[in-house]
Amino acid sequence: MTTRIYPAYGRQIAYRIRRGQHPLAVGVMLSSFWSDFLDVPRLCLRPEDWALGRYEFSYLRGERVVLIVGHDDDTHAGGGRLVGELLCELMLARPSLVWVAHQAGGWIEQSGTPPALEALAVEMRVPRELASVARTVYAESFLAASQRDADRAIAALEAGRMPAPSGLAEVEQRFGNPFWVGDAQAA
């Protein structure tokens, strides 16, 4: 049995999540360059260090996750297989939502649905069996989170309140643009 290790910044994020400090989303950056997205909680992995089953991601269970794909050549070696394997590992950690973004800005997959992520993993040359198992595991947590969000919205409406915003628009702003610095009017 091999011992899994935490990616860069993983211990700090796991510690905060255990203490109840849940971030809006956690970025998982697969790149040789870690200078982007400094204002968001992120895990960092170098492509040359990646190995399937090496890293610990269980603390991401129930969290929103954005996989950030680097623009360096090592990240895309083998037709993107590294990205596909990391995507499957993240899906197996049972987060509530997974999006995939380019490090340079823009989205690769923003729907976060289990079938779309499975198709993306297969497109990136991950064995179909691994992608299928990852989709099945992720589908359970994705559907549970969707049901929980719907139940909260219904309870708020029944109590005569407006449902709280989900925060997905802010996640979209932060991770869709690596140079995002927040709302200037809020400062």
Convert the pLDDT of each residue in 10-53 to its tens digit.
999 999 999 999 999 999 999 888 888 888 899 999 998 999 99
In a domain, 187, yes or no: no
In a domain, 186, yes or no: no
In a domain, 1, yes or no: no
Domain of residue 165 covers 10-180
SS3 state at 176: helix
In a domain, 4, yes or no: no
Q: Rounded to an integer, what distance in angstroms lies between the CA atom of residue 80 and that of residue 13? A: 26
In a domain, 73, yes or no: yes
In a domain, 139, yes or no: yes
At CA 169, angle to CA 39 and CA 147, rounded to 5?
Answer: 115
Counting runs of H as helices and runs of E as strands, what totals does the chain give?
5, 5
In a domain, 185, yes or no: no
Convert the pLDDT of each residue in 122-163 to its tens digit.
998 899 999 999 999 999 999 999 999 889 889 888 998 887
Instruction: Provide the number of structural domains found in the chain.
Output: 1
Measured CA to CA in angstroms, residue 90 lies from 40, 77, 118, 154, 164 at distances of 18, 19, 12, 30, 27
In a domain, 3, yes or no: no
